[in-house]
Amino acid sequence: MNLTLKIWRQVDAKDKGKMVDYKVTEISGSMSFLEMMDVLNEQLVNAGEQPVAFDHDCREGICGMCSMYINGEAHGPDRGVTTCQLHMRMFKDGDTITIEPWRAGAFPVVKDLVVDRSAFDRIQHAGGYISVNTSGNTQDANAIPISKQAADTAMDAATCIGCGACVATCKNSSAMLFVGAKVSQYALLPQGQVEAADRVRNMVAQMDLEGFGNCTNTGACEVECPKGISLDNIARMNRELMKASI
Amino acid sequence: MALDSKIPKGPIKDKWTDYKNHINLVNPANKRHIDVIVVGTGLAGGSASATLAELGYNVKAFAYQDSPRRAHSIAAQGGINAAKNYQGDGDSTYRLFYDTVKGGDYRSREANVYRLAEVSANIIDQCVAQGVPFARDYGGLLDNRSFGGVLVSRTFYAKGQTGQQLLLGAYSAMNRQIARGKIEMFNRHEMLDVVVVDGKARGIIARNLVTGEIERHSAHAVVIASGGYGNVYFLSTNAMGSNVTAGWKVHKKGAYFANPCYTQIHPTCIPRSGDYQSKLTLMSESLRNDGRIWVPKNLDDVKAIREGSKKPTELTEDQRDYYLERRYPAFGNLVPRDVASRAAKERCDAGYGVNATGEAVYLDFAASFERYGKEQAKIQNISNPSEAKIKELGQEIVKAKYGNLFQMYEKIVDENPYETPMMIYPAVHYTMGGVWVDYNLMTTIPGCYAIGEANFSDHGANRLGASALMQGLADGYFVLPYTIGDYLADDIRTGKISTESSEFEAAEKEVTERIEFFINNEGTHSVDYYHKKLGKIMWDKCGMSRNAEGLEIAIEEISALRKDFWQHVNVPGTSTEYNEQLAKAGRVADFLELGELFAKDALVREESAGGHFREEHQTEDGEAKRIKEFQFVSAWEYKGEPKDAVLHKEELAYENIEVKERSYK
């Protein structure tokens, strides 16, 4: 198929940036979206132009690096996938596709479609861990039984890949789905109980400091999340925060 | 220089304990004055950074990604081995040790492997304490599954995302130390050289991938944890950015590179579909627990399937060749990866491949749907369930176990694997070879260490499933923190290492000149053009099977391609901006050197062992034939061009395991 691409080009954080049109031809439906971008970039390099910068690494939907806002949706029109797993068979010959970076005050653009998500790391530094030494002198792994349900629910929260689609999607640029997922993972496990109150307080404080917005229960983040992280995690985080405040 | 593996004396089961009892320690007050650089933040680098920082060293960690959490360990699916014997099925430290040495086709170092098996149980305890949500049974205890090449269930897992959960565990341990200021994290930075001062590794030259700035970083020791070099094949299951550069740079500065030809080709990957393809996708080996691998018995059926006039589900049982079950009745579909991959290639080469390119075999879950379905019908007290009901119940169980893998397959291939068998084909996945290290995990450059996939040490010529995660975390959490202390104990009075020395100056100059060359070269071909060409040579001539003639041609072709690259490569943009093409040019330049050494190593190793299959050396029924004289590690010393590299041999002694024909029949 032949496509028109409208892509956000921005030299660096200071540049104002603009949309630029490109054409690609002979795109196969079994290509991934990023392989289509590879075709464009090869074309640009061979024509002596600057290729489009975009983040990507594992190309199997788990590293959380890729981050394109495609036709007004984080990771594009398919559900439950990242951009690297989006396939061109989702598009039709002659389509015009608009590609933008994540848009959020807390995610400044580095170049073109690459944004700086270090705010997520800083929230994790504030409390996204259990304070256990890594010396190996811990008790036996089976010493504390954990119900299958708790372990499974914790796992569901822990599958968050930290891509930032939730923030990009949210009209308030809220990071609550991301933070809620991490808080929930630990809150659901006995190992996470000891520091639960401090953890949620510190992570939420850092989240606010980074300039992420509040949650107004729209639920768009849950729809666009490539890993299907549930809104329940936000509710659980709010409960944890309330508990911590009493 | 003669190779000294520094294996401690004494019985194998006491070596590590005795070693720990007798090494030098650094007191906590002195650790504060010692800096360590860790390159890479996957399971090995992440866990090492966290533990070293916790011990009190000042750690500088480097990742080319935008966060340590994105290192490619995250993509490991199936699980992590540990000799816990929770299932009471006869597992033990010795058995894990034995399985790993045998699985590696008797080409790994006994003492290292035993230590790995010994600390494996600790890893699980550690990770559970960190909040890693491993799968559990209804009693609340940890669940296990079985992997290829073993007869026990010792693999712990977190759905199909075990690597992700373990990495997030290591990342969380890093975060705790970053918050305390004990780890200084350099994201979007790439190491471009190691700096050796007075014969010791004392720092690195790194490039800030956002600004293009070249930076000098000093330390008392440098740890390379940058993963494997599977991307030398262009197409592999590695991440797009995975590269050999850190390992290759230390090689060029004096670290020997061991067994480059030992590559793991993983049997259960999604077949390639076209020339535009940028990477291959693996599906966990755990699928072989419940999936049966087959191709049609008759070539007529193959033809009909390829033409689309017949569906695989229409073939009756006796029209199918379950070739692994046929050839290896004892291990069946769970033979080790190298054996499974070669068997698939054998069938496809004979014309039985089931997709358009003839490079695919079936992985079929129908039998599992039925088996689990019947079991569930009993549990749920459904009498006389219909076939459809049984299938439905069975599919629910399979979905719970591998749902994300089935979903991934469907998204990529656009076929529903619940209704039609999956198609799979082997793909490059892991490299057992790497930087040579001694028992201390130190390279032949004093003060320079290599851990995880970046080193060569534990898997011999073939790695067993779920052992990469085990090795990465064992090295980082439990081995390196001891061994590096023994070395650093001599550095307590050294003080801060200056970055103003002539050695730093020279290393930086070399790095800068190379970058300027790329930017200023008015070339005609893109970096990917060369990478793809290299990949094709590697796959065709250094792939699943190799022969002397092909390897000799490969050496010449790679050498010519490298020459062409340095004349005609085209890198757009400038050196002072975010420039992915520039970063990639440097990586491909190193792959072009490694590739040639790889072929040379494969040529010299005139035997078949594990993932290295020389067509000249096989048994009558096509199995790999080891040769006693090659019971050594090939460690290559850099001497300029790859063709001039000098071979050093580390002879391997097997005192605790009898070296036998490796049979899975």
How confident is the model over B544-551, as a mean pLDDT? 96
Closest CA to B495 of B35, B57, B181, B52: B35
Q: How confident is the model at residue B661 (pLDDT cuts 50, 70, 90)?
A: confident
> In angstroms, rounded to a whole number, what is the distance separating the alpha carbons of residues A127 and B151?
41
- The answer to whether A117 faces chain B, any CB pair under 8 Å, is yes
Min CA distance, A60 vs chain B (Å)? 7
Name the strands in the sheet holding B214-218, side by side, starting at the edge strand that comes first in the sequence.
B189-197, B200-208, B214-218
Contact at CB, B136 and A114, closer than 8 angstroms: no
Give me the pLDDT at residue A137, please.
Answer: 85
Q: Among all chains, which residue has been given the structure tokens 């290729």? A: A51
pTM of the model: 0.96
Min CA distance, B560 vs chain A (Å)? 22
Residues of B in contact with A88 (CB under 8 A): none
Min CA distance, B542 vs chain A (Å)? 24
User: pLDDT digit string (tens) for B387-428?
Assistant: 999 999 999 999 988 888 898 899 899 999 999 999 999 999
Q: Find out whether B340 and B148 touch, Cβ atoms under 8 Å.
A: yes
- The answer to whether B186 faces chain A, any CB pair under 8 Å, is no
Q: What percent of chain B has pLDDT over 70?
A: 100
- The answer to whether B628 faces chain A, any CB pair under 8 Å, is no
For the cut 80, the answer to whether the pLDDT of residue A244 exceeds it is yes
User: pLDDT digit string (tens) for B320-355?
Assistant: 999 999 999 999 999 989 999 999 999 999 999 999
Q: Where are the alpha helices (DSSP H) in chain A?
A: 33-46, 118-125, 148-158, 165-169, 176-187, 196-209, 220-224, 232-245
Contact at CB, B140 and A58, closer than 8 angstroms: no
| 3-class secondary-structure state, position A202 | helix
For the cut 90, the answer to whether the pLDDT of residue B599 exceeds it is yes
How confident is the model over B604-617, as a mean pLDDT? 96
Q: Which B residues, 276 through 295, put their C-beta within 8 Å of a C-beta on chain A?
A: 276-279, 281-282
Phi and psi angles of residue B546, each rounded to the nearest 5 degrees, phi first:
-135, 150
Q: Which residue of A has its CA nearest to B571?
A: A45
Q: How confident is the model at residue B26 (pLDDT cuts 50, 70, 90)?
A: very high
> In angstroms, rounded to a whole number, what is the distance separating the alpha carbons of residues B392 and B265?
34
Q: Which B residues, 447 through 486, put their C-beta within 8 Å of a C-beta on chain A?
A: 477-478
The one-letter amino acid code at B82 reads: A
User: pLDDT digit string (tens) for A125-149?
Assistant: 999 999 999 988 899 999 999 999 9
> In angstroms, rounded to a whole number, what is the distance separating the alpha carbons of residues B52 and B36?
8
Q: How confident is the model at residue B278 (pLDDT cuts 50, 70, 90)?
A: very high
Give me the pLDDT at residue A133, please.
Answer: 92
Please list the residues that pair with A245 across neighbouring strands: none
Give me the pLDDT at residue A26, please.
Answer: 95
Residues of A in contact with B411 (CB under 8 A): 78, 81, 85, 87
Helix H or strand E encompassing B229: none
Closest CA to B641 of B562, B583, B567, B523: B562
Give me the pLDDT at residue B527, please.
Answer: 97
User: pLDDT digit string (tens) for B642-654?
Assistant: 999 999 999 999 9
- The answer to whether B313 faces chain A, any CB pair under 8 Å, is no
Q: Which A residues, 13 through 42, put their C-beta within 8 Å of a C-beta on chain B?
A: 28, 30-32, 34-35, 38-39, 42
Q: Find out whether A237 and A212 touch, Cβ atoms under 8 Å.
A: no
Q: How confident is the model at residue B160 (pLDDT cuts 50, 70, 90)?
A: confident
Q: Token pair for residue B338?
A: 């190298």
| 3-class secondary-structure state, position B584 | helix
Strand B646-651, strand B632-637: pairing: antiparallel
For the cut 80, the answer to whether the pLDDT of residue B517 exceeds it is yes
Q: How many CB pairs under 8 A join A and B?
A: 211
Q: What is the ipTM of this complex?
A: 0.98
Q: Using H for helix, E for strand and C for coil, what is the string for B165-190? A: HHHHHHHHHHHHHHHCCCEEEECCEE
Burial of B629 (C-beta count, 10 Å sphere; 0-12/13-18/19+): exposed
Closest CA to A236 of A145, A133, A156, A122: A156
| 3-class secondary-structure state, position B21 | helix
> In angstroms, rounded to a whole number, what is the distance separating the alpha carbons of residues B403 and B451?
33
Q: Token pair for residue A60?
A: 């199997």
Give me the pLDDT at residue B274, please.
Answer: 82
Contact at CB, A133 and B140, closer than 8 angstroms: no
Give me the pLDDT at residue B149, please.
Answer: 79
Mean pLDDT of chain B: 96
Residues of B in contact with A191 (CB under 8 A): 128-131
One-character DSSP codes across B549-578: HHHHHHHHHHHHHHHHHHHHB---S-SSS-
Q: How confident is the model at residue B159 (pLDDT cuts 50, 70, 90)?
A: confident
Min CA distance, A178 vs chain B (Å)? 14
Catalytic site residue B320?
no
Mind listing the domains of chain A with CATH numbers? 3-110 (3.10.20.30), 118-244 (1.10.1060.10)
Q: How confident is the model at residue B622 (pLDDT cuts 50, 70, 90)?
A: confident
Active-site pick, B216, B337, B562, B614: B337
Contact at CB, B129 and A191, closer than 8 angstroms: yes
Closest CA to B170 of B448, B469, B421: B469
Q: What are the CA-CA distances from residue B554 to residues B230, B431, B536, B559 (Å)?
A: 17, 19, 10, 8
> In angstroms, rounded to a whole number, what is the distance separating the alpha carbons of residues A117 and B531?
30
Phi and psi angles of residue B512, each rounded to the nearest 5 degrees, phi first:
-65, -40
Residues of B in contact with A126 (CB under 8 A): 179
Pick among B80, B136, B162, B524 to test the A interface (most A CBs inside 10 A): B136
Pick among A40, A43, A62 to test the B interface (most B CBs inside 10 A): A62
- The answer to whether B213 faces chain A, any CB pair under 8 Å, is no
Closest CA to A213 of A104, A119, A118, A121: A104
Strand B183-186, strand B58-62: pairing: parallel
> In angstroms, rounded to a whole number, what is the distance separating the alpha carbons of residues A214 and B476?
39
Q: Which A residues, 169 through 228, put their C-beta within 8 Å of a C-beta on chain B?
A: 185-186, 189, 191-192
> In angstroms, rounded to a whole number, what is the distance separating the alpha carbons of residues A114 and A102?
8
Q: What percent of chain A has pLDDT over 90?
A: 98
How confident is the model over B627-633, as a mean pLDDT? 97
Contact at CB, B414 and A85, closer than 8 angstroms: no
DSSP class of residue A43?
A: H
Closest CA to B253 of B507, B442, B431, B483: B507
